[in-house]
Structure 1
Amino acid sequence: MSQEVKSTCCYCGVGCGVLIRAEGGVITSVRGDPEHPANLGRLCTKGASLHLTAGTANRLVHPALRPARGEPAQGVAWDDALEHASERFAQIIRTHGPDAVAFYISGQLMTEDYYVFNKLAKGLIGTNNVDTNSRLCMSSAVAGYKQTLGADAPPSCYDDIDQAGVILIAGANPAIAHPIVFRRIEDARVANPDLKVIVVDPRRTESAAIADLHLPIKPGSDIALFNGMLHVMIGEGLIDETYIAEHTEGFAEQAAIVAEYTPMRVAELCGIPASDIVRAARWFATRGPALSLYCQGLNQSAHGTHNNAALIQLHLACGQIGKAGAGPFSLTGQPNAMGGREVGGLANLLSAHRDLANPQHRAEVAALWGIPEVPAKPGKAAVDLFKALASGEIKAVWIACTNPAQSLPHQAAVRAGLANAEFVVLQECFADTDTAAYADLLLPATGWGEKHGTVTNSERRITRVQAAVPPTGEARHDWQIVVDFARRLGRKLDHAAVDRLFPYASVEEIFNEHRASTAGRDLDITGLSYALLEQQGPQQWPFPQGATAGRARLYADGRFPTANGRARFVSVQHQATAEQADKTYPLSLLSGRMRDQWHGMSRTGIVPRLFNLEDEPLLQMHPCDMRHRQLEDGDLVRLFNRRGEIVVRVAAGSGLVRGRTWLPMHWGNRFMNGAGANALLGDAVDPWSQQPELKHTTVEVAKSGLEYPLAVIRRCTDLDDALRQLELARSLFDEFPYATASLYGRASPLVVFRAATAAPMPAALLQTIDATFGLTGDTGAIVFSDARRHIAKKAVALDGQLLGVRLAGETQALNWLRQAMAEGELDASLLRFALAPTAAPPASLAPRQIVCKCADVSDDQIISAVAGGADLAALQDTLKCGTFCGGCMPDIKRLLTRQPQQHPEAA
């Protein structure tokens, strides 16, 4: 029996609603929920492929315990697993005190999961050592809002995009990181041709491509830019003096600071024309409602809090807040980072936006939980938490739904901390994350499509999440695992109130307790309930008792949640990045997201078509920087600094100025021989938010000296087979100074393995490679060998279909061969080219262009369907193109207008 269940996407903070179709306990498809206000039915490439991640091949399905570090984990019963965990934690707490243990959790948990983790640490154990990967994501946005507006409450909503007169995008690339928000920006430009878009980014990104004004500032110079814009606004009388006088404080002090930030000085600090600074200021102040959208480019900085404050102050100075189309709007990175903040899921927070440092707030939470007190000692934020593991100050850590062995900066130090810990618990969906290798105990948690609870998106909108299928294997809901563990631990510690602290028999009971804790707070949701969310759909907070709807925009009355009701101007000055380029490390390395991948790719990395854009990590450089180092497109290079080195392929990047490089942050040990970009990034943190500077470091690039390339492409029967082959490919990483492995393809998944060595590969290594990929023997084999040039190639066919190809010493045909195998268009004549390529591939294989990336539909598929009589409705019904994010609709309509004779089959 088929059913469709409402849920949300588990990727970014846009919070798109999805409809999950399941049949027989198996997820079969997903589509955007047309009734969800966040996306109105749209989905991006990642969301549109969610159903393809719902298999079991790489899932953690049973609790598992390692007898000793380095040994394989062995399956255990849930009771034994939790008894062991509670005994180890109890022993450490009794011996070393409650601050000897810690919890590191995730912005992808449900709000209810977050709540019980927070209560476990701060209420039962008595430690504030509970932090989250939101520390890497949104903590500077939190601190920026609190310093200026008084509370962690984004004042704007998605509808403001439609009504803005100018949109300032700073330190964000929504075209890639928040695609559905970007579609809305594109729609707004069509509806209002007068709309101005300003993009502030050191790189000319996909978002900057639509900008009326792109400001490619020097990394870390955001405060200088915003102070310079405020200087112009004050000097030209563009500020709202009445609003400033009636609703803010501290303006005079900041005005005195920005008096020094003349356009000429700021132009020097930022590396952009002074005229562009003036133009940006005038547009912001005069073009109608001003909306700013910002994300990790501001947050992930050693001065991220003041980056945020400097931008927010532009809104306060112009009165551009609390009204339609205006306001500072932080784009949340993770699907429920906001929910975690709401329940105090950071080491410095308590439930309902209370502050740990506030004695009254601690007393309120203690009374709510029925305990004598909440500890006052600050907890360890993420970076310090893992340093404390390395030093031995923290002995045990419980990690849930996150992958610090890939995501945190300065990976060598993080991994040293994990290796030094006495006891590491990993509560996770996936068995093969980088962090899993360090876990003593692995606990299987439910994943997307199986979970239930609530999440909050970037615009403060709470959505009720329903499970579409039962848990996989023995997986349990995160809140259930925490509650069971808490009860066991409490009894071992003789905690008299443990049963009263954790009485929950259902997830709704947890929500109701959280709801009660918000009474009278800025995020009051006492008027919400599961029943209301299910009947009336997602709702924004605040939604107090008696309300009939949430509040779309905050601060319309000019009153702010501060002691005197006024917003604050904060005295902020330009600060440089934590590391400055010098003769040894003359290049800036910027890190960022790819459109089709998410975090460490534990989920997106199992979808072949999500690698079709890029299936290996590519370092982008300015062509001049490449020429200076005698580098060409496709060369393998050493990317290094004082913290480490990785080997990656280089490509000329048209969006970069000289001295800047860019590398995606997603790649780690699961897909390459190395820890990726985060191995090179430093652990300097913002003093207010404790968020690390994950966006910038300094590096040098040099030729790798790896002159002998290897590539293997292996066709797989299905996804399970592909994931098994991918795991086998990873087993070869240690054999090579450079190696990557990924999936690729459309209907038929491929595994693509790349490697390189400094010297020709010996025959024994080639035999090992062939055996790993099932390419041994002479049956169905075609071999090409050139001993003089150390080239050795082999192709193996099975049952009339090409099984795989190994190219050693020369890989010119790799990209062409990869596409041909993915399209199933490889005959004997084309295979001869692959093994002994000429200057160009045969013309019989036309280049493929994917028009609808969400549904993975190519131009030739659309042209063929149109030649057969399909109209737009038929294309959407049969191919599903244009039914997800909508970004491909102009191209589809263009193809619909082509004359039939233009298609080769119709000629």
Structure 2
Amino acid sequence: MEIEEAREVRTTCPYCGVGCGVLAKVAADGQVSVRGDPDHPANFGRLCSKGSALAETIDLDGRLLHPEIHGRRAGWNEALDLVASTFSQTIAEHGPDAVAFYVSGQLLTEDYYVANKLMKGFVGSANIDTNSRLCMASSVAGHRRAFGSDTVPGTYEDLELADLIVLVGSNLAWCHPVLYQRIAAAREKRPEIKIVLVDPRRTMTADIADMHLAIAPDGDVALFTGLLAWLGQHNALNRAYITAHTTGFGQALFAASALDLAGVAAATGLSEDELGRFYSLFAATPKTVTVYSQGVNQSSSGTDKVNAIINCHLATGRIGRPGTGPFSVTGQPNAMGGREVGGMANMLAAHMEIENPEHRDRVQRFWNAPAVARKPGLKAVEMFQAVADGRIKALWIMATNPVDSMPDADAVEAAIKACPFVVVSDVLARTDTVRHAHVRLPAAAWGEKDGTVTNSERRISRQRVFLAVPGEARPDWRIIAEVGKRMGFGAAFAHETPAEVFAEHAALSGFENDGARDFDIGAYAGIDGEDYDALVPFQWPAPKPAEGAQAAGGSSSSRFFADGNFYTSDRKARFIAIRPTTEIRTSPDFPLILNTGRVRDHWHTMTRTGKSPRLSQHIAEPFVEIHPADAARQGIGDADIVRVSSLRGEVLVRALVTPRQRQGSLFAPMHWTDQFAATGRLDTLTAPLTDPVSGQPALKHVAARVETFAAKAFGFAVTRQKPASIAAPYWAAARCRGGWRVELAFADDDIDWAGFAASLFGAPPGGDTLAYHDRDAGQHRIAAFDGDQLSGALFVAPGPVAVSRGWAAEQLDVTHAGQRQRFRIVAGRAGADRPDAGAIVCSCFSVGANQIAAAVAGGCTSVEAIGGTLKAGTNCGSCRAEIRTIIQANRVQAAE
């Protein structure tokens, strides 16, 4: 038998929009390891905790490996024929707008391109939208209003060249950790760099900030319109740039002046002193970059927020020059690539406009399509409302999980369940969305498919194959193309390789462009398979050489708009007149404002990160952050189980009482699903309220209330097998080494705990069981063994269970031949020789809070010293802010 040689493949991380380069090494025995690519210009070798754990997420456990029709295994021909014929019949009977695609920023550009081409060019409808609508649609709309195109002006290098970085609605330390580390490294070299964080929460990003503006939810429009007015009042404008390269400044300044400083303070919840210091710093610092993310975009006023920020940069000429610019950082690996191919319902391919008849004609001629869609399609929220009311009768969902991620998620689930025909292409056999599909199509996963992605700085990088495609899975672009052929459009979907798709995409970008459009990669229109395989990361624009290096953006650099030359009819930027408003959504019944978001080590709905034991060590269950004053009013203690509810639903989560949360507000992460928790689907609480321009949902501002869940017993368990079902009103399951860990809470304590444990563990008949029961104290501990292996252990107490989670989980992975070892499990203690590491802070090296505190007591008083002693914080760096917080807390305790 021939032994395969070890090889290392350059590819790109499939998580956030930073677009980090990854080196995936496949050993001779097939084992995969990953490290950051030191030559990739996005990350220069850095990876975050999620990227570092990628090799732990590529197993075949839970994979969808064969097509299925109504739950039975089917062949590809049968499945594809059914999809094509049903879509064709639906179109024939009800028109092209009766079908829809809901796609994803997880798709590669080649996948996105083929899907967009099929729907808009050959079906003839624009009913294709993407989960990127939930991520950056407001940025797209703001760019188009101001610049005439969806152009991100700057580059990551600007973050290192700036003298002032304003982070707005962005927890960069957790959500884009590699960019955070690039900024931190730049600051070590230039300590004079100033950083301002604008966020209702004191997130871990505040660790690096000189100023934290704890703004009221949705106060951003008032903050930045106030800044524009202040700049005008203090003669801090670039009049030459405004005159030469913009229009509409007078109207924008007049609208911004609607509030005086006191009015801005009232609308933002900030003091006049805080506003004055921030405004003065902005005015005095020519090299300023404003980085914004979901706290800006996910709002019913998101587009106005984006334009309020852009207005300030246009007014000061801080755009397109090194160290300057408004900078939207995207949440998904290919949100930008999806925008390039027209993946959203209101866009055409290659940044052309669906409302523009010349653009439609150009795309139709290039594709040789029968009829290009003539009007925008339904945006994501509208699309699922149309599914619910029967206008959409056939729906194809690709690489996303809307039953968990869409606002008003229960209504979305009901709509999908009632839809006459639902197709889902996915990697996993069980997600909350896949379970409702009539046809399930197995898609190739990261590492198994070839293509490109575009990151937040317009850099196109390759994702490359380094794993064999398992079972009968196929790349998404090929699945879509096969359906296109079966619908009668064979010539248009005859691509044999992703290189051919990319070449066509590049050719369309340059087709009749001549500098008229920002997106142009025409230099790659003739790329062949060999050059595609060798493609190195590059930024657009990249027009054909004959068209001149200055064809797009008026500059040969990688930045746009330093000298104007915008993509409007007169090539001037548009100031947008924005009048600040305040919207009250709370009520006596729902007095708090819920803000939703992400945590450091998990991603979207955990279909990938949920596979990694390491990534569940840091945060293993859904939670809600609540300010101590709000918690005290409701009688909520730290680690209590609480019910968070809105007009639309309720969830049960763990309470995290912290002064980092703004009083009157809550924060909860959106990752947990029915696969990982009893009632943790956070978007059952959010409303289908959207920005009127972008259609992006307002996921950061939900009227809610929180109250204690009357738990009479709490539990913690470790089990070798994931339980098939759990008879508890609250549970949250997470992978650990050797099995699963489960947090539990019960409304009743009169339970047959031995029977519950047996059901939880699925323990084999005849296995050994040890148990301890103190019914008066409400304490129960049960451990079951199969030979020398622990099948499971359950710990029950009247309050949150005080057991070392990490130590208990480790017991699944070791042998227990001696009775003394087994009794230790029932006792819930490792012994004096095994101190409790505490909650894991550093996922890369499994270093806990207690270990860090002990190191501080032993004389380690800096993050660097902790790293030298424990290695914590020395790999991805995502935990450095938390380490610093622990150091400060323990030094204060020592001083007292």
Partners of 1:6 and 1:20 within 8 A in 2: yes
Structure 1 residues 828 and 83, CA gap change in structure 2 (3 angstroms): same
- Match of 2:433, SS state, is helix
Query: Deviations 1:343-401 (Å, cap 9, x if unpaired)?
Result: 11011110110111111111111111112431213211101111111101101100000
Is 1:573 matched up with 2:573?
A: no
Corresponding residue for residue 837 of structure 2: 847
Structure 1 residues 91 and 410, CA gap change in structure 2 (3 angstroms): same
CA distance in 2, matches of 1:100, 1:466: 36
The structural deviation recorded for 1:617 is: 0.7
Is 1:558 matched up with 2:579?
A: no
Structure 1 residues 584 and 470, CA gap change in structure 2 (3 angstroms): same
Higher mean C-alpha displacement, 530-539 vs 55-64:
530-539
The structural deviation recorded for 1:464 is: 2.1
Query: Deviations 1:314-341 (Å, cap 9, x if unpaired)?
Result: 1011110010000011001100010010
Partners of 1:882 and 1:889 within 8 A in 2: yes
- For residue 807 of structure 2, the aligned residue among 816, 819, 824 is 819
Structure 1 residues 96 and 629, CA gap change in structure 2 (3 angstroms): same
- For residue 743 of structure 1, the aligned residue among 727, 735, 747 is 735
Is 1:755 matched up with 2:751?
A: no
Structure 1 residues 880 and 486, CA gap change in structure 2 (3 angstroms): farther
Which AA in structure 1 matches 2:711? L
CA distance in 2, matches of 1:483, 1:883: 45
- Match of 1:462, SS state, is strand
- Match of 1:654, SS state, is coil
Which AA in structure 2 matches 1:756? A
CA distance in 1, matches of 2:826, 2:60: 36
Corresponding residue for residue 419 of structure 2: 421
Corresponding residue for residue 536 of structure 2: 537
| CA RMSD in angstroms, aligned pairs only | 3.0
CA distance in 1, matches of 2:103, 2:35: 29
CA distance in 2, matches of 1:833, 1:379: 62
Is 1:524 matched up with 2:520?
A: yes
Aligned pairs for 1:785-800 (under 5 A) are 785-789=773-777, 791-800=779-788
CA distance in 2, matches of 1:696, 1:422: 34
Query: Deviations 1:140-172 (Å, cap 9, x if unpaired)?
Result: 000011111221110010111111010000011
- Match of 1:822, SS state, is helix
Partners of 2:837 and 2:850 within 8 A in 1: no
Corresponding residue for residue 32 of structure 1: 36
- Match of 2:338, SS state, is helix
The structural deviation recorded for 1:850 is: 5.7
Corresponding residue for residue 7 of structure 2: 3
The structural deviation recorded for 1:796 is: 2.4
Partners of 1:25 and 1:470 within 8 A in 2: no
Corresponding residue for residue 642 of structure 2: 637
Aligned pairs for 1:137-536 (under 5 A) are 137-490=135-488, 498-519=489-510, 520=513, 521-528=517-524, 529=527, 535=534
Percent identity (aligned): 40
The structural deviation recorded for 1:507 is: 1.2
The structural deviation recorded for 1:844 is: 4.8
Which AA in structure 2 matches 1:526? G
Partners of 2:804 and 2:838 within 8 A in 1: no
The structural deviation recorded for 1:856 is: 4.1
Partners of 2:652 and 2:730 within 8 A in 1: yes
Partners of 1:767 and 1:776 within 8 A in 2: no
Higher mean C-alpha displacement, 647-656 vs 98-107:
647-656
Which AA in structure 1 matches 2:439? L
For normalisation by structure 2, the TM-score amounts to: 0.90
- Match of 1:705, SS state, is coil
- For residue 683 of structure 1, the aligned residue among 657, 674, 688 is 688
Higher mean C-alpha displacement, 87-96 vs 748-757:
748-757
Higher mean C-alpha displacement, 812-821 vs 605-614:
812-821
Query: Deviations 1:536-594 (Å, cap 9, x if unpaired)?
Result: 620000011116898421112222111111111101122335x6112110011111110
The structural deviation recorded for 1:209 is: 2.1
CA distance in 1, matches of 2:667, 2:873: 31
Is 1:59 matched up with 2:99?
A: no
Query: Deviations 1:42-61 (Å, cap 9, x if unpaired)?
Result: 10000011111111011111
Query: Deviations 1:47-88 (Å, cap 9, x if unpaired)?
Result: 01111111101111111111xxxxxx1111111111111122
CA distance in 1, matches of 2:224, 2:318: 15
Which AA in structure 1 matches 2:582? A
Higher mean C-alpha displacement, 591-600 vs 524-533:
524-533
CA distance in 2, matches of 1:709, 1:880: 34
Structure 1 residues 846 and 858, CA gap change in structure 2 (3 angstroms): closer
Higher mean C-alpha displacement, 206-215 vs 855-864:
855-864
Structure 1 residues 509 and 668, CA gap change in structure 2 (3 angstroms): same
The structural deviation recorded for 1:741 is: 1.3
Which AA in structure 2 matches 1:505? E
- Match of 1:207, SS state, is helix
Corresponding residue for residue 47 of structure 1: 51
CA distance in 1, matches of 2:674, 2:883: 38
Partners of 1:41 and 1:884 within 8 A in 2: no
CA distance in 1, matches of 2:269, 2:821: 51
Partners of 1:9 and 1:335 within 8 A in 2: yes
Structure 1 residues 859 and 266, CA gap change in structure 2 (3 angstroms): closer
- Match of 1:712, SS state, is strand
Partners of 1:63 and 1:441 within 8 A in 2: yes
Query: Deviations 1:180-219 (Å, cap 9, x if unpaired)?
Result: 0000111121111111101100111111221111111110
- For residue 610 of structure 1, the aligned residue among 607, 615, 622 is 615
CA distance in 1, matches of 2:104, 2:453: 12
CA distance in 1, matches of 2:167, 2:680: 30
Query: Deviations 1:806-843 (Å, cap 9, x if unpaired)?
Result: 124546545415434427799977865764679x9968
CA distance in 2, matches of 1:486, 1:788: 68
Partners of 2:646 and 2:685 within 8 A in 1: yes
CA distance in 2, matches of 1:599, 1:891: 22
Which AA in structure 1 matches 2:749? P
CA distance in 1, matches of 2:849, 2:25: 28
Which AA in structure 1 matches 2:179? V
CA distance in 2, matches of 1:767, 1:887: 42
CA distance in 2, matches of 1:889, 1:261: 40
CA distance in 1, matches of 2:239, 2:119: 47
CA distance in 1, matches of 2:564, 2:191: 30
- Match of 2:276, SS state, is helix
CA distance in 1, matches of 2:537, 2:237: 37
Corresponding residue for residue 663 of structure 1: 668
- For residue 134 of structure 2, the aligned residue among 120, 133, 136 is 136
CA distance in 2, matches of 1:437, 1:698: 30
May I ask how many residue pairs the two structures share in their alignment? 855
CA distance in 2, matches of 1:59, 1:199: 41
Which AA in structure 2 matches 1:49? A
Which AA in structure 1 matches 2:308? A
Which AA in structure 2 matches 1:677? L
Which AA in structure 2 matches 1:510? V
